[in-house]
A and B are shown apart, each in its own frame.
Chain A
């Protein structure tokens, strides 16, 4: 039986929707189709946006019809099912300075969960987090896989100012603020990386379907990386996942 359906979003977008619950495997299917569509360069397709349970494809109705696009997607899904090898996943390392002024809420996260600050850092850095989708603000990743032991409810009153690069926890989610904004997440650390550089050829360091790995750094390393980023000499570590 089909485990997916199609829906028109008006006259210029189609949503491919999956009935199953979000999972890393479903995410790989969605990412693969998204990548496959980009590779096909079909006239009339503007762009595709992956999300937890859906892939939305934006198109120009004067160049492409809903039915043709739906058929293309169906064919891709059929091929997808017959081959069990999906495209590889990548993991991007996010150097992060935890605690102190960089992570003002880390003690709170530790206290709420009866852990030491060291344990919070260990639990946060030992997992790779799948980027299910991006949204909310440019460069903001919706990450899955936070260890329940450090899950912490968001602040009741959002703070007026959260610094760019802040790494936070809200409920059982973790994420990074690409630029300074108000926010209600518990901030446990900060990365010196710039997650949104609109004037660069590559404005972003990662995309949906990639994994993020947080690596604890000290103040000296933070300053070094920050300077290298400013000079444009820092190379973000992005490697193929094994297994």
Chain B
């Protein structure tokens, strides 16, 4: 495939990095999965420009970048509403559109949610490391966007004007209900602690990032200890160390850990969490594996329908 120039980075934003659906298959070697925090928004973004769901996009956090467009291509912006503009005018969201050389894409104040995704027809030309384009700087894999980077993509025939209808667009809230499947270490907690966990309001602290969300909560008490023999951590695992303050493990979580986990956030609620700003409020609600699976299937079905509409099979 022939390369083409896409963006010249005038400002990188707070933290902008390439993310696809993650680097799977190497967790037993300690390789962090990474990938888009809001994988639903990324997948929709890809479909709207005619890409496969797993293509990498740029994940933009809170204060987005300023990008000078270097050629004509199709683009979509999904996820959080960070007030995107094209040449100073509001840019469409959840709908693909065409940009041309000399245009400037920038972002303003965060209005709803905190992570937006920029996807382009044909995807970005960034190295595929161990099967993924996702950035994980701590292990030297990829780099976050920096000023004066030049970003390339591929010559392709993309699509524009494909969008979601308003009822399909997720509404990111600052107070959310998050469903949790109990386990695997629920026996380490008192009954009262589990009750407290499910009945309290938990607040997302400022020390929250792609690795995990630290919550300010009433203390979740252990029966005696908080340490276990290290085991594998899933996305959304809710770790509770001796302090009794929960940490929800997100995209850049370590593969294994030695703290008790009270439960796991169901996959279909991860996007809601990913868009929750510091200060956001969470109530947890217990779910069964079957209920969790039913919601995952619903989302899969939605994505398949969008794929059909976008002509991506």
Contacts and interface: CB of A to CB of B under 8 A. Distances in A.
B275 to A, nearest CB: 19
Interface in A120-161: 133-140, 142
Interface in B22-38: 24-32
A46 B25 contact: yes
Interface in A29-69: 34, 46-54, 56, 58, 61-62, 65-66
Given A58-B27, A136-B254, A52 B129 contact: no
A243 interface: no
Nearest to A12: B267
B247 interface: no
A11 interface: yes
A135 B254 contact: yes
Given A10-B267, A49-B256, A139 B232 contact: no
Contacts of A136: 30, 254, 256
A66 B289 contact: yes
A12 B235 CA distance: 9
A56 B266 contact: no
- How many interface residues does chain B have, given as a range? 35 or more
A13 interface: yes
A199 B132 CA distance: 11
Interface stretch (A98-106, A202-210, A227-235): A202-210
Q: Taking chain A's interface residues, is the majority helix, strand, or loop, or is none over half, making it mixed?
A: loop
Nearest to B291: A11
A7 interface: yes
Contact of A208 (B28, B138, B293): B28
B31 A56 contact: no
A144 to B, nearest CB: 11
Given A51-B256, A198-B139, A203-B130, A10 B266 contact: yes
Given A46-B24, A203-B29, 9 more contacts: A12-B234, A56-B234, A58-B24, A61-B293, A135-B30, A135-B256, A137-B254, A138-B32, A198-B140
24 contacts: A7-B184, A9-B183, A9-B232, A9-B237, A11-B289, A46-B24, A47-B26, A49-B27, A49-B256, A53-B229, A54-B231, A56-B234, A61-B292, A62-B296, A62-B297, A133-B230, A134-B29, A134-B30, A135-B257, A136-B30, A136-B254, A139-B29, A198-B141, A199-B129
Interface of B: 24-32, 129-130, 138-141, 181, 183-184, 229-232, 234-237, 254-257, 261, 263-267, 289, 292-293, 296-297, 300
